[in-house]
Amino acid sequence: MLTGKEFVRKIKEENSQLFEQSRMNVRRFFASNPSKEHMVEHFRGRMVNEAMNMKAIAAEVVSAPTSIDVTELELLTKQAQDEAKHFRMVKEIIEHISGEKVDVDAAFAAEASSPQAKGATLLDKYEASSDPAALAAYQLVAEGRAEAVWNEMAECVEDEFISSRYAAIAKDEGFHANIGGWKLEKLVDGAADVQERILAMVEQMRYDLLEISNKNTAIAV
């Protein structure tokens, strides 16, 4: 059985293939010179994804027991605020690309009627709202992948307005992944059964995230 630190280190090391494939998908997507309409649609999905993350983490804060570690509570509160900031920043990116104000209600309705692949949907799939270890694993893997993806997008785009926002979001996503790692270390330390369950979950989660990456960087034809 691994220690908590060894367990998290193992997951991070094994994330590398997923992260590199996701970065390759991003490079291919932007190299295809997507149209303005395709870019707006793409980032509509990213905007809604950030809102979904914001609501999920905020719900964790609201439902937290009074006995919660105050450090964990502060970290979750910071993450919820970051997700709200990302929601606003992606909205600004869409407006910068389109030259028009985003009708948020219409954007959410359009996304609901024709949903794009989103990492945040995995929160429900893995019942993260009721499983602290699953939430921590999601943060470690999905938010870690998000850091890689947003950093890659920042490198792919020459527009400083857009790339600077991509880079800022990436930095936050790395912080969120570290929150997950910090929490997971505590939850799995000395718990062989939890380690076994989370390793199996993470293996499937990586597969899901790669499928999501393939779909949301598909080149329009």
Which tens digits make up the pLDDT trace of 162-185? 999 999 999 999 999 999 999 999
Using a pLDDT cut of 70, give the percent of the chain over it.
99
pLDDT at 189: 95
Residue 221 scores a pLDDT above 90: no
Phi and psi for 69 in degrees, rounded to 5? -55, 125
What's the average model confidence in pLDDT over 5-32? Answer: 96
pLDDT at 218: 83
Nearest to 198 by CA among 51, 206, 151: 206
Mean pLDDT value across the chain? 95
pLDDT at 186: 96
Residue 89 scores a pLDDT above 60: yes
pLDDT band at 61 (very low <50, low <70, confident <90, very high): very high
pLDDT at 83: 97
Degrees, nearest 5: CA angle 56-57-60: 95
CA 164, 24, 50, 111 torsion: positive or negative?
Answer: positive
Q: Check if the beta carbon of residue 25 is closer than 8 Å to that of residue 217.
A: yes
Q: What is the pLDDT of residues 105-139, one digit of tens each?
A: 999 999 999 999 999 999 999 999 999 999 999 99
CA 20, 22, 28, 33 torsion: positive or negative?
Answer: negative
pLDDT at 75: 96
What's the average model confidence in pLDDT over 23-31? Answer: 95
Q: Could you give the domains of the chain?
A: 4-216 (1.20.910.10)
Residue 102 scores a pLDDT above 90: yes
pLDDT at 34: 92
pTM: 0.92
pLDDT at 212: 95
pLDDT band at 220 (very low <50, low <70, confident <90, very high): low
Q: Check if the beta carbon of residue 21 is closer than 8 Å to that of residue 145.
A: no
